[in-house]
Structure 1
């Protein structure tokens, strides 16, 4: 098996920006993960967008563990951006609270329908990026 040299890895990162640690690539990955977790599907009859956080939350305990781990990925990416410990703790608390309440049968399912921890965390990350990396700011509607 052939190993990849560090300079080859850098060439791969340059060719595939989604794998890099620059703020624009991190923003793109976090936004995609948030959309997957919070706004992937539209519920028929209700017209409200939901994601894997709601759908997997219907599976007792295991679904909330899986979506909690996916939410913590967003926090990990925020750490890669150099966000403050306070911001990271606030984001981890959002994910923890969502997972804790979401694990309660029925009540947790209704909670996941209305409370979107990953969207809250994305808002915290966007605020940080807009302040510290204004060149990658995007216009949202």
Structure 2
């Protein structure tokens, strides 16, 4: 895979992560939230849909050729967020605070940078 395609996939994963975890800000605070937090307000189905959308970042990692250990770590982040999301109130707070998608996009980007070095 050439460097341009890797960069395009990284950009897509970052855009998806931003949409899901940080698209909007709460005025006069540092807190940002995204579609993930809104979906988390829907019991069970919202958390399931959020987890499925989060797999998009893992898919990009797979297409780039990220190691299985990294993909499993990313899946663990999604699983943890899904479990936390199943707890009322705590799950809603976790959706804003944990930011699994931005975390996974950062893991992927760090791996690509390390791979280049």
Verify same fold: TM over 0.5: yes
Structure 1: how far apart are the matches of 2:52 and 2:40? Answer: 13
Where does residue 58 of structure 1 map in the other structure? 41
The correspondence for 2:112, drawn from 98, 109, 129, is: 129
TM-score (norm 1): 0.75
Post-superposition, which runs of at least 4 consecutive aligned residues in structure 1 deviate over 6 A? Answer: none
Aligned pair count reads 114
Matches within 5 A, 1:24-39: 24-39=7-22
Where does residue 104 of structure 1 map in the other structure? 87
- When residues 132 and 47 of structure 1 are mapped into structure 2, their CA distance, relative to the original with a 3 A threshold, is closer
How many Å apart are 1:45 and its aligned residue?
A: 5.6
Matched, 1:90 2:79: no
Structure 1: how far apart are the matches of 2:39 and 2:27? Answer: 17
Structure 2: how far apart are the matches of 1:76 and 1:90? Answer: 13
Matched, 1:116 2:99: yes
Greater Rg, structure 1 or structure 2? 1
Q: CA RMSD in A?
A: 1.7
Which 5+ residue runs of structure 1 have no aligned equivalent?
1-20, 135-141
